[in-house]
Amino acid sequence: MKIFDHTNWPNSKEELVKYDEKELNHLAEFYGKKQIIGVNNICEEWFRYKVIIYANFRNIKIESLMLRLFEFYYDTFPNNIKLLGIIYSIPFSSVECEHGFSKQNLIKTIS
C-alpha cells in the first residue's frame, strides 16, 4: 500500500509513468475479488491520479491531501480513493486496544 504515499514517488516523470503498476494490480486483484473496488479501469485511473497528484499536490502532506481527494476527486478516482480509505482505516498497531484492556484488568483487580 506504500504506492499511495506520494512523498516516496520518483521525481522523474518518466519513472512515475510506470511506478508500481504491479503493486496496484495486486491490490486491485485482492479488493476486486471482494467487490470493494472495480478493476476494469484501475490502471487508467491510477495513471490520471498520479498526473494530478504530481502536478498539483506533490508538496502537501497526505493528511491534507486525503481531505481534498475525498471532497473534490471522488468521482474522478473512485477506486483509488476507496483504496486510500482502506489503507488509512486499518490500524497500524494494537497498542491503544491493549492499553485499554490493561486498564480494565487493573480496575477489575482493584475493585
Residue 110 confidence class, pLDDT cut points 50, 70, 90:
low
Q: Which of the pair, 31 or 37, is modelled with greater confidence?
A: 31
What is the DSSP annotation of 28-67?
HHHHHHTTSS--TTHHHHHHHHHHHHHHH-TTS-HHHHHH
> In this predicted structure, what is the pLDDT of residue 50?
92
d(CA 59, CA 11): 12
pLDDT one-digit tens code per residue, 41-100: 788 899 999 999 999 998 888 888 888 998 999 999 998 888 888 877 776 667 777 878
Provide the phi-psi class of 61: left if phi over 0, else alpha when psi is between -120 and 50, else beta: beta
Q: Which helix (H) or strand (E) holds 93?
A: none
Mean of pLDDT values over 4-15: 87
CA distances from 23 to 12, 19, 28, 48 (A): 19, 9, 9, 17
> In this predicted structure, what is the pLDDT of residue 53?
92
What contacts 24+ positions apart, CB below 8 Å, involve 90-98?
none
